Amino acid sequence: MKNAKCRKSFAMLLSAAMCLSMTAGAAVNAEEADASKNDTLVAASNHFENKFSPFFVAAVDDQNVVDLTQLTLISTDRVGALVYNGIEGETRSYNGTDYTYYGPANVEVTENEDGTVYYDFTLREDLVFSDGTPIDIDDVIFSMYVVCDPTYDGSATLYSQPILGLDAYRSGMATLSSLLAAAGEENTDFSLWTEEQQTAFWDAVNDGGTAFAQEIVDYMVANGGVAEGDVAAAAEGWAFPGLAEDATAKDFFLAIGDAYEWNFSSMEAETAGSALADLIPEDVYNYATVGVETGDSVDYIEGIQKTGDYSMRVVATEVAANMGYQLAVEIAPLHYYGDEALYDYDNHQFGFEKGDLSIVREKTTQPLGAGAYTFKEFSNGTVYLEANPNYMMGEPKIKNLNFLETLEDDKTNGVVAGTIDIGDPSYSSEVRSQITEANGGDDTLDGENITIKLYDFRGYGYLAMSADNVNVGGDPASEASKNLRKAIATVLAVYRDEAIDSYYGDTASVINYPISSTSWAAPQVTDDGYQVAFSVDVNGNPIYTEGMSAEEKYAAALEAALGYFEAAGYTVEDGKLTAAPEGAKLNYQVNIGANGSGDHPSFLLLKNAADAFASIGFTLNVNDISTASELYQTYQSGVAEIWAAAWQSTPDPDMYQVYHSAGSTNYYCIDDADLDELIVAARMSTDQTYRKGLYKAAMDVVLDWAVEVPVYQRCECYIFSTERVNVDTITKDMTPYWSWMAEVETLELN
């Protein structure tokens, strides 16, 4: 009995001890959970494609993950300008404040007398990847060779730059898909591929490829006003003009393939719903990444030269103004993305077999780099990142950072509810109302629940005129034609303030030059020669005086327009137009994609301008188009006279494609030798100050042609939980090129 009693007592004691242990354990786990929550920042994202590779990233949200896990060879500042002295840092002023920018390397650019350009890089010698592996110049060279490989199909375009020996390296090899397409369906030469491969390719084209194109045709029939079965018209509306009248969906798909050099991944951009990858077999889809030797080629790029363990030189055969941006490659770890056994610089081996990037593609969903954070996993719509203790700017103060896929409508509510700490809702008056309501309804944007940071969007809205369709006597370049367009532009310009304020409130501003205000090349109000767009009369005198009311400005603009009309050859009697000169009209149409309901920033502008024009005998017919594709078709096909649209800009403000006479998107039909010369000259220099002056002169020419009326620069925003985030540590003066992630290492939680 005694032993039994002892055993019972022991069991009771053990049970009590276990209960105490479990209680203590639960408390510890709860504390750990709270600690984890208190050291985790949650940021909203839209949708991930699970392509987090520095080489093959495509989606914006995936790019955010790449930006935080990788290190870029050349960094940029708040206006997207390159930082050439990253090691020591460069101090530049923005919005009246000096900021210092750092990077992993210095680059010295030398323009030589023979026209060649040297880019000499010196890498910091103390850098390591997040796994502790030291970084040296071989990692940079490996990264450059990946994006220059003949089978590379990512978004980087370094291979398009004039690097010495690059063409020779890429020649003699092509992708299997492009070769099969060029050979044709009836080819009988199987020396470079098998008959089975050829059959599989054309079966895929005839089946899934044709279905892909037919889906576009069906969309255009349903939404673009295209007649049933008119493939050529559908293709033209989809920006693929020139197909024969009896073209088939297969012909359309072949045209798409040719446009993208049969890179199936890139062709996905033309989808009207279905993914091409879901319509053709996986092995055929991969033909676009299979390299086939077609002739002699060299096994190295002469212009990529290793000069030391931490230095290299890139030789360009000519000046290319945007080459610096293309050289800003991600420094990817050779030991992870490549094969060190296949790297021997002296023997022309660069970490993989030329034409075979399979080893690089294997790591697409599992990135490793030297950025501020390391990648842990992507699961159930969330990307989990952890602070990198080896980051060159210092270990981030917030240990964990999660990107959570979030619906647009939930981004603001999520911050209020505490499920996310940082959101990026598309800024609008509705979002503003949500924020002010969350902050107590006192019309404050920074309150107890939400702190908002606005920044200018990387692009701008404008009104355009086709010089070919709005001119006098069939001469788009004549002074009379310019005066006609200036007459129209002057009235359009004066109504910008009211329209933009009505549509956007304080979330957008009127701009005066055809360039996003986020660009380093954008003229500033304090610059010499800065002028409000279309604010002088035909004699060059100011139209407006200080203190004028809005109504007085409207009247003055109309009077100035009459002067321009008269100088263009119009007959003006008693303040009204009574006759147009040869080749011109008393009425023009402006197309605007306002959903058929007037929902567009420039709609009120056009309505008010039309009313004003009517009072002087001129008709501006405002055509509200409900579908965007139909609007695009009107000006891309050259039919439109006047239209409203928007551009999205890049860090380099190259004007060639849009304004050069040979530019592929010169929908304005502007053809000016002086303008062409300015644009080309700006391309042929690496001096940013010099280029800015050239671009200002070029923009003045565009405005003199009066083919574009700059209208607005709208804002976007980031919103932060005031309760959770230490708002004093949020990045100052954010821009499209410098978000909160640019200084994420200094961000703190409360």
Report pLDDT digits (tens) over 338-381.
999 999 999 999 999 999 999 999 999 999 999 999 999 999 99
- The conformational region for residue 283 under phi > 0 = left, psi -120 to 50 = alpha, else beta, is alpha
The Cα–Cα gap between 46 and 411 comes to 10
The answer on pLDDT for 57 being more than 80 is yes
3-class DSSP state of 708: strand
Closest CA to 149 of 159, 139, 160, 137: 159
Tokens of 476: 């788009």
Examine the pLDDT at 322 and tell me if it is beyond 90.
Answer: no
pLDDT averaged over every residue in the chain: 92
d(CA 623, CA 609): 14
The pLDDT of residue 559 = 97
Of 591, 109, 61, nearest to 327 by C-alpha is 109
Q: What are phi and psi of 337, to 5 degrees?
A: -85, -20
Residue 34 CB coordination number (10 Å): 10
Q: Which has the minimum average pLDDT: 52-61, 481-490, 579-588, 739-748? A: 52-61
Kindly tell me if the per-residue pLDDT of 38 is higher than 80. no
Residue 508 corresponds to which tokens in the numbers above?
């957008």
* pLDDT for residue 37: 56
pLDDT digits (tens, 9 = 90+) for 267-319: 998 999 899 999 999 999 999 999 999 988 899 999 999 999 999 999 999 99
The yes-or-no verdict on residue 385 having pLDDT over 60 is yes
Q: Which residue has the tokens 């010089």?
A: 467
CA atoms of 313 and 474, how far apart (whole Å): 52
247 pLDDT more than 50? yes
Q: Is the pLDDT of residue 692 over 60?
A: yes
Q: What is the mean pLDDT of residues 42-54?
A: 95
Q: What are phi and psi of 4, to 5 degrees?
A: -65, -40
For residue 705, give the nearest of 527, 386, 488 by alpha carbon: 488
Task: Evaluate if residue 14 carries a pLDDT over 50.
Answer: no
23 has a pLDDT exceeding 70: no
Question: With contact defined as beta carbons under 8 Å apart, do 535 and 510 qualify?
Answer: no
Q: Considering Cα of 394, then 399, then 400, then 401, what sign does the dihedral take?
A: negative
Give the model's pLDDT for residue 643.
97
CA dist 716 to 401, 425, 426, 428, 456, Å? 22, 8, 6, 9, 6
Closest CA to 305 of 157, 150, 141: 141
Residue-wise pLDDT tens digits, 720-747: 999 999 999 999 999 999 999 999 999 9
Which of 314, 264, 350, 711 has the alpha carbon at shortest distance from 515?
A: 711
pLDDT at 446: 80
Q: What is the pLDDT of residues 183-230, one digit of tens each?
A: 999 999 999 999 999 999 999 999 999 999 999 999 989 877 789 999
Residue 323 burial (C-beta neighbours within 10 Å; 0-12, 13-18, 19+): buried
Q: Is residue 442 very low, low, confident or very high in pLDDT (cuts 50, 70, 90)? A: low
Location of structure tokens 């965007």? 628
Token pair 């060029």 in the structure block, residue: 182
Q: In angstroms, rounded to a whole number, what is the distance separating the alpha carbons of residues 71 and 139?
A: 11
Distance of CA 681 to CAs 209, 658, 686, Å? 42, 16, 10
* Degrees to nearest 5, angle at CA 242 with 240 and 245: 110
Measure the CA–CA gap between 308 and 303, rounded to whole angstroms.
Answer: 15
pLDDT tens digits, one per residue of 514-530: 999 999 999 999 899 99
9 — pLDDT class (breaks 50, 70, 90): very low
What average pLDDT does this structure show over 113-124? Answer: 97
Q: What are phi and psi of 39, to 5 degrees?
A: -120, 25
CA separation for the pair 236, 252 (Å, rounded): 10
